[in-house]
Amino acid sequence: MLHSIATSLIVFITGAGFAGSPAAEPSTPTAVASQEAPMSLPASWEEFVASRMEMGNFGDWTTTGTTEAMWEGIPSGLKYTSTESTQLSSDGSYMTASHIMRTDDGKVMSIGGGIICWDAQGKKVIGSYSGFDFGTPFSGPRTLLGMNGMGEKWNYVETSGGKTTSYVSTTMFTGFNTQSNSVQRRDGSGPKQSTTMTRANAMDHIKKHFDVAGTWEQKTENGMTMVTTSTWGFDGRGLFSTEGMRLPDGSIVETGESAMWWDGLTSSFRTHYLNNVGIVVMGEVTSFTVDGDTTTMVVMTTGSNAAEQAITAAMTQVLKGETLTVTFSDMRVNGRPMTPKWAEKPMVTRRVSKN
C-alpha cells in the first residue's frame, strides 16, 4: 500500500509543498519609491503600531559591515555581523528591542536591549535603551522624531564612558526584506554610519547546508526515471519542487509538487506534499546535522494515501555532493507497521544540473 508513495516521498523531503507552482514574486511596492515623503508624528500609539505592522518592521534583521568612529565604546575599523530585533508585547502596549554585534571571530562586540512605549502626557513615542560595548555600559533615552509609512527617524542620547552624545538615526524600507539605516551625531560632527539590513531568514541555514536546487534523477524499479526539479522562491523563503516520471518516449508526466519553509509559529522547518492521485503528506524536520561535506536531515511525516488511509514514516536524507540518499523507517499504514520491498534499502538520487 505504501508503494504508491515511494517516489513521492523523496521529493516531498527535498521540497515539500503547496499544490501548484510557486507564484511569481511581486514587484517592489510603489511606496518604496516615495521615501522622500515628509515625516510626521503619530497622533496615537495605535497609529504608530499600525505603521510598523504595515511596514513589516517586527522580527529579526541582520547586517554586516565595518565600524566607524561613532560610538564611545566601539573602536573604528572592526568588521562585524549584527542582528537587531523588535517585537510587540502580547497585549500590544509596548515594544521590546534588542541587538547583538559580533566580531569576525564570534566575540560579542556589543549587546543591548530596551523598550518603546507611548508617553501619554507628552503624546509621543519614546523609549530607552541600554547595554554593553566591549564590556563598557551604555544607556540612554530615545524619542521618535517622525515617520512616513516607509521609515522612521529617531533621536537617541547615549551616555557611555562618562560622555553623553546625541544621535539621529533614520531607517527606511528599500524593499520587501531590506531596509537602510543611517546614524550620525546630531551636531553633524564625525562620520555617518550607513548600513543595509536584511530580514532574517531561517531558510538560509537550509540553503547553506542542504541546497538541493536543480534537477535530480532516480531510476525506479520498473525502469522509468523519476525527475525532480527544485527551485528557491519568495526571496529564498520557500523551496519548491515539481516531480514527474520520464516515459520511454522521453516525455515527462508531472506527478506531484511540494514545498519546504520555516514555520515561525512552531519554530520548525515544515514540508507539504500533494500528488496527482490524492496523496497528501505533511512533515516536520526533527534533526539537522552537518559533518564536513555531509548533511543529514530527518523528517517525521504524516498524511493520507490515495485510499484515504493514515500513513506515517520517518525519512532520513543524506546529502553529499551531488548525491542524495533517502532511507525510510518506522513506516505505518493506519498505525500498523508496514515496510514495502522498495523501502527496505536506501534510495539514491543524483543531481544532473543546478539552477
209 and 346 together in one domain: yes
Which pLDDT score, from 0 to 100, does residue 11 have? 36
149 lies in some domain: yes
Q: Decide: helix, strand or coil at residue 197.
A: strand
Q: What's the grid cell of residue 1?
A: 500500500
Mean pLDDT of the chain: 89
Within 10 Å of residue 164's Cβ, how many Cβ atoms?
11
304 and 217 together in one domain: yes
Residues 299 and 228: their CA atoms lie apart, in Å, by: 18
Cβ contact 239:203 at 8 Å:
yes
257 and 162 together in one domain: no
181 lies in some domain: no
Q: Decide: helix, strand or coil at residue 144.
A: strand
Which pLDDT score, from 0 to 100, does residue 12 have? 34
Distance of CA 86 to the CA centre of its chain: 16
Go through 119-137 and write b for each residue having 16 or more CB atoms within 10 A of its CB, e for each that does not.
eeeeeebebebebebeeee
122 and 254 together in one domain: no
Question: Could you read off the pLDDT of 203-222 as tens digits, one per residue?
Answer: 999 999 999 999 999 987 77
Res. 263 pLDDT band, cuts 50 70 90:
very high
219 and 326 together in one domain: yes
251 and 159 together in one domain: no
Res. 35 pLDDT band, cuts 50 70 90:
low
Asked if residue 146 has pLDDT above 90, the reply is: yes
Residues 62 and 101: their CA atoms lie apart, in Å, by: 10
31 lies in some domain: no
Host domain of residue 127? 37-175
